[in-house]
C-alpha cells in the first residue's frame, strides 16, 4: 500500500481508539425513525405547500440552476426569496448562497479590510471558524458569551477595523448569545457585529425572525445577519442580510457567491413557501417551546445533565466519546435518531447527545422518544 494511504489508515485507527469514528448512514424516503437529530424544527421540509412550490418550480425550471448567479443561475424565484428574507429579517437586502457554510465564509471575507481584527466566540460553528481562518485576518477567540472579554479585545486594538463574530442560538448547547450587550460594545468601539442566526431563524423572535430581531437589532447598519435555509425552513442554502452596500459588495467580489453554482430554483421556491409559513408560525413555535420545556424536565428528572436552551437544541452530557456513541447507537436501534457530538466537533472536552426538537414528529412519538433516550442512558 502507498505510504500516504497507510498513514491515513493509521490516523483512522487512532480515531477509532478515541471513539471518534464517523459513519455515513443512508436513510430511505420511508424511514420510520423518530427524528430528533435533524434540524427541521418546524416540520416544514415535507409540508404540502412547500413541496407543491418546489414541484412547480421543478417543472418550470428543471433540476438545476445551470450556472452561477452571475451567469444564468439567478431566477425570479431566487430574487423573490431574497426580497421575502430581507422583509422578514428587517434588512435592506438579502443574498442567497448555496449553503450556510459558504454564506458565513463569504460574509466574513467580505467584511475584512487591511488590519481588521476578528473577535470570535469560542463556541462558534466551524463555518465561522473557517471563515475567520480563510479571511487571513488576525483573529482573537474570546471565552464563550463573555461580553467583557469582547470589550477588552476591542479596547486593546484601537483605531483598527474590527468585527465581532457570534452565533445567536449556539449550535452545541442551544444557549442564546447576549446580542444586545455585544452590539452595545461593538458600537461603542466602532466595530461591526456579525450574527449567525442559523438556529434562531424561524424559532425565536417576533414572527420567528430570529435572535437579531429578538434583541431589537433588526436593520441596524452595523449588524450583518447570516443563516442557513436548511433548519427551521426545511430546505437548503444560506443567506446574508444587511445593508444594501454590503450585499452589492458580495455580489461583485464574494468568491463563495461569484464562483459557486446557484441553488436549484425548486429548492429556492420551496424555501420561499417555508418562509411564509414560518413567518406566520406562532402556533408552531408555541408547540416547539412546549416540547423543549418537556424534554428538559424529563431529562432532569432522570438525573441527566443538559442545557437549558433558548431555541430548540437540547444537549445532554455523556461520560465520554465512546459512551456517547454507544448511547446514540442504542437509541437508533430502538427507533430514535439523536445527534452525537464529540471532540473535535464540540468546543470543549465534553461529549454530548444533541436533541433537535421537531414539531413535525407526532407528539406521542416525541414523548416516547424521550423515554427511550432516558432508558438507554449509560
Told to judge if 17 belongs to the known catalytic residues of this protein, a careful annotator would answer no
Active-site entry in 78, 125, 144, 183: 125
Active-site entry in 35, 39, 47, 135: 39
Told to judge if 199 belongs to the known catalytic residues of this protein, a careful annotator would answer yes
Told to judge if 189 belongs to the known catalytic residues of this protein, a careful annotator would answer no
Active-site entry in 171, 230, 315, 358: 171
Per residue, what are the HEC states of the chain?
Answer: CCHHHHHHHHHHHHHHHCCCCCCCCCCCCCCCCEEECCCCCCCCCCCHHHHHHHHHHHHHHCCCCCCEHHHHHCCHHHHHHHHHHHHHHCCCEEEEECCHHHHHHHHHHHHCCCCCEEEEECCCCHHHHHHHHHHCCEEEEECCCCHHHHHHHHHCCCCCCEEEEEECECCCCCCECCHHHHHHHHHHCCCEEEEECCCCCCCCCHHHCCHHHHCCCCCCCCEEEEEECCCCCCCCCEEEEECHHHHHHHHHHCHHHHCCECCCHHHHHHHHHHHHHHHCCHHHHHHHHHHHHHHHHHHHHCCCCECCCCCCEEEEEECCHHHHHHHHHHHHHCCEEEEEECCCCCCCCCEEEEEECCCCCCHHHHHHHHHHHHHCCC
Told to judge if 171 belongs to the known catalytic residues of this protein, a careful annotator would answer yes
Active-site entry in 231, 307, 310, 315: 231
Active-site entry in 74, 123, 199, 220: 199
Active-site entry in 196, 197, 220, 310: 196
Active-site entry in 121, 167, 173, 197: 167
Told to judge if 78 belongs to the known catalytic residues of this protein, a careful annotator would answer no
| Catalytic sites, residue numbers | 39, 125, 167, 171, 196, 199, 231
Amino acid at each position: 500500500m502507498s505510504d500516504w494511504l497507510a498513514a491515513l489508515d493509521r490516523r483512522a485507527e487512532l480515531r477509532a481508539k478515541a471513539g471518534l469514528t464517523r459513519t455515513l448512514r443512508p436513510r430511505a424516503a420511508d424511514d420510520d425513525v423518530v427524528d430528533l437529530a435533524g434540524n427541521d424544527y418546524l416540520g416544514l421540509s415535507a409540508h404540502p405547500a412547500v413541496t407543491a412550490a418546489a414541484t412547480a418550480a421543478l417543472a418550470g425550471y428543471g433540476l438545476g440552476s445551470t450556472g452561477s448567479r452571475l451567469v444564468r443561475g439567478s431566477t425570479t424565484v431566487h430574487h423573490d426569496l431574497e426580497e421575502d428574507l430581507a422583509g422578514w429579517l428587517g434588512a435592506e437586502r438579502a443574498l442567497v448562497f448555496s449553503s450556510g457554510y459558504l454564506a458565513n465564509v463569504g460574509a466574513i471575507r467580505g467584511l475584512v479590510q487591511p488590519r481588521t481584527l476578528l473577535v470570535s466566540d469560542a463556541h462558534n460553528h466551524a463555518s465561522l471558524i473557517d471563515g475567520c481562518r480563510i479571511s487571513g485576518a488576525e483573529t482573537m477567540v474570546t471565552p464563550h458569551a463573555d461580553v467583557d472579554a469582547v470589550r477588552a479585545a476591542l479596547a486593546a486594538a484601537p483605531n483598527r477595523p474590527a468585527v465581532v463574530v457570534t452565533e445567536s442560538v449556539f449550535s452545541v448547547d442551544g444557549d442564546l448569545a447576549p446580542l444586545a450587550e455585544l452590539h452595545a460594545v461593538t458600537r461603542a468601539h466602532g466595530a461591526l457585529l456579525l450574527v449567525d442566526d442559523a438556529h434562531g431563524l424561524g424559532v425565536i423572535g417576533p414572527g420567528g425572525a430570529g435572535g437579531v430581531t429578538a434583541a431589537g437589532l433588526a436593520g441596524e447598519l452595523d449588524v450583518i445577519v447570516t443563516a442557513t435555509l436548511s433548519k427551521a425552513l426545511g430546505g437548503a442554502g444560506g443567506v446574508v442580510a444587511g445593508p444594501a452596500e454590503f450585499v452589492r459588495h458580495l455580489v461583485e467580489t464574494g468568491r463563495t457567491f461569484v464562483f459557486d453554482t446557484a441553488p436549484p430554483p425548486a429548492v429556492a421556491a420551496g424555501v420561499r413557501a417555508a418562509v411564509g409559513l414560518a413567518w406566520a408560525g406562532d402556533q408552531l413555535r408555541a408547540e416547539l417551546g412546549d416540547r423543549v420545556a418537556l424534554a428538559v424536565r424529563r431529562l432532569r428528572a432522570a438525573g441527566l445533565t443538559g442545557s437549558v436552551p433558548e431555541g430548540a437544541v437540547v444537549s445532554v452530557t455523556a461520560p465520554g466519546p465512546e459512551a456517547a456513541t454507544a448511547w446514540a447507537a442504542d437509541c437508533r436501534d430502538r427507533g430514535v435518531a439523536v445527534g452525537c457530538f464529540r471532540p473535535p466537533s464540540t468546543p470543549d472536552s465534553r461529549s454530548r447527545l444533541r436533541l433537535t426538537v421537531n414539531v413535525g414528529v407526532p407528539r406521542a412519538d416525541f414523548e416516547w422518544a424521550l423515554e427511550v433516550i432516558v432508558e438507554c442512558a449509560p
